[in-house]
Structure 1
């Protein structure tokens, strides 16, 4: 078996393992509030995820995956004038085999980190893990001049914007739910009328996660499979095909089904008390922020978005906001 073949088959295994870790950790924290509030059972969450994660991955996941592929490591030439050529794709001194190995190592390190964190019931960010891994392999394999620093800073900035936006949207959603349903006339009938929106929000959070976080495993794996199938000199074909996104989506659903309960306990019950209205507000706020990021092609942390929403809703319900504004 030649070098390209064993790197490819190894990447198949570690990409599935990384996707498994994403499902066990990131998808689990996405559904944690719904299960913690009692709105969903574990079985229903798995069924929803089985359809929506894959649907989100194949419809919106390609843009985020290509961002991870091309906005961190420079496949063409360094942006600093006079610096050495990075991976020298298509040139006699091509280093694309090292790039291919680096992406496989990034998948392996991300998978290992996610599985260890999941076993410890710690909700962590797969986005941070894979961006850090790709950055590390670029620094070691090609040098700092080959890092697309502006693209990297744009990604990092989105990590701070996303949880703040998710928290603000969740607070607005909870206030609207209280005003329009819980504190209005005949709240029971209004709540029944609002059930379709609750179910739609639950489906949307899974779709949004599939659209964004599936790319964390799909991006590096897509690079490996493209170089394996089309050769080390054809960098123009380093894109993300649908089958790679669907394959990673399958790994995500498997991880949720087998190990998702660990992180769900942390997010759904240990951070703050969650009831139906709070769970709905948290899910909707975090979902909207992740969908907006996916449309923009930005790999954000769904974990951070979810935690930002939980913290903001917890602060609102505890009266912290009232103390700050002096009410």
Structure 2
């Protein structure tokens, strides 16, 4: 059973990486600031760093996703229960990844906890289920969409003020002798970028260039936050199964998530970056700032929000006027199906073992 449990837990980590690793850089690739390979490399590195940081920043999530408090402690500690949870959630996320649908590993884990708990005959703590899991998962994408809409309007205002500083050097001639005296002169101009001169001797610093750098940094912050938020949820399975300690579990989960992302992130990346809505750099920056802030804040408090739900919600909020509703309906339906599908898979796995 230990080998099966380890395999199921790492399968879930692999599926999580394939579905989630790229999500922070979806807006960067969607705005064509980086190539897919460049974005994937940065996303993988930031997610791995977040996995390591989770040992310090998100210990409460390890306890919450062990199942304790949701089902009786005796059930939560049983290897069969942990195996069923890992396998049910892992299969659900793999199916969604194959279809290119950005689903929530958090949602899948909650469904799997419910399904495996029901199969084990333990009484579910419905109050803990609603307050500790379902309400945060339902509220977070709506809050992200609202904040994304507001943040984009704040970022967009920067176009109403000068956004370029130009420093131009020139050489002037002074009369007064047979040989003109030459002296350098500097001029500084602050205006909109289209009005700033360009050419030899001119140095231009634009707000847009700085904003692009901030956008990439915000994307890395989301991937870091995702690593902080998701790693403890998967680490909890290895710790509950008494397979590895928290430190080694976080290392193993982080490494396998990185491999899953490198190999199979492309389909979900296409959906989030190119298909949900069109976005420019300003919209992408606003969406990322909202996503990173919400996920890090929730991780610190031990609140189980979904990076997927928050990211898609913020992207939809900033690009509300250009949403492809056919694609968005498919994404929303996959969110609705995630919990019952994971519950059914976990229930079947628990019954089988």
Which TM-score bucket, shorter chain as reference? 0.7 to 0.9
The yes-or-no answer on 1:73 pairing with 2:79 is no
Instruction: Please point out which of 298, 315, 319 is paired with 1:314.
Output: 319
Tell me, yes or no, if the aligned pair for 1:33 and 1:268 is still in contact at 8 Å: yes
Instruction: Please point out which of 2, 13, 21 is paired with 1:8.
Output: 2
Whole-angstrom distance in 2 between the partners of 1:41 and 1:310: 19
| Correspondences of 1:169-248 after superposition (within 5 Å) | 169-180=147-158, 182-186=159-163, 188=193, 189-224=206-241, 226=242, 228=243, 241-248=246-253
The change in CA–CA distance for 1:52 and 1:63 in structure 2 (over 3 A counts) is farther
The Cα offsets for residues 275-319 of structure 1, whole Å up to 9 and x where unpaired, read as: 21111111221121111110111221111111211221122678x
**Alignment-derived partner of residue 161 in structure 1:** 139
Shift of 1:210: 0.6
Tell me, yes or no, if the aligned pair for 2:61 and 2:303 is still in contact at 8 Å: yes
Whole-angstrom distance in 1 between the partners of 2:72 and 2:293: 31
The Cα offsets for residues 177-206 of structure 1, whole Å up to 9 and x where unpaired, read as: 1112x2321354122233442232111100
Flag the structure with larger Rg. Answer: 2
Q: Name the SS for the 2:294 alignment partner.
A: helix
Instruction: Please point out which of 43, 46, 49 is paired with 1:49.
Output: 43
| Correspondences of 1:120-139 after superposition (within 5 Å) | 120-139=99-118
The change in CA–CA distance for 1:112 and 1:317 in structure 2 (over 3 A counts) is closer
Whole-angstrom distance in 2 between the partners of 1:292 and 1:194: 23
Whole-angstrom distance in 2 between the partners of 1:33 and 1:199: 9
TM-score by length of 2: 0.73
Whole-angstrom distance in 1 between the partners of 2:125 and 2:50: 27
Tell me, yes or no, if the aligned pair for 1:167 and 1:286 is still in contact at 8 Å: no
* Aligned alpha-carbon RMSD (Å): 2.1
Instruction: Please point out which of 301, 304, 310 is paired with 1:299.
Output: 304
**Alignment-derived partner of residue 105 in structure 1:** 84
The yes-or-no answer on 1:152 pairing with 2:129 is yes
Tell me, yes or no, if the aligned pair for 1:283 and 1:306 is still in contact at 8 Å: yes
Name the structure where helix makes up a greater proportion of residues.
1
Number of aligned pairs? Answer: 278
TM-score by length of 1: 0.78
The change in CA–CA distance for 1:289 and 1:316 in structure 2 (over 3 A counts) is farther
Shift of 1:165: 2.1
Tell me, yes or no, if the aligned pair for 1:23 and 1:253 is still in contact at 8 Å: yes
Shift of 1:32: 2.1
Tell me, yes or no, if the aligned pair for 1:22 and 1:252 is still in contact at 8 Å: yes
Tell me, yes or no, if the aligned pair for 1:121 and 1:266 is still in contact at 8 Å: yes
Name the structure where strand makes up a greater proportion of residues.
2
The change in CA–CA distance for 1:49 and 1:28 in structure 2 (over 3 A counts) is closer
Whole-angstrom distance in 2 between the partners of 1:207 and 1:72: 28
Whole-angstrom distance in 2 between the partners of 1:52 and 1:73: 34
Whole-angstrom distance in 1 between the partners of 2:17 and 2:145: 23
Tell me, yes or no, if the aligned pair for 1:67 and 1:298 is still in contact at 8 Å: no
Structure 2, unpaired ranges of 5+: 164-191, 194-205, 324-353
Whole-angstrom distance in 2 between the partners of 1:42 and 1:12: 32
Tell me, yes or no, if the aligned pair for 1:61 and 1:210 is still in contact at 8 Å: no
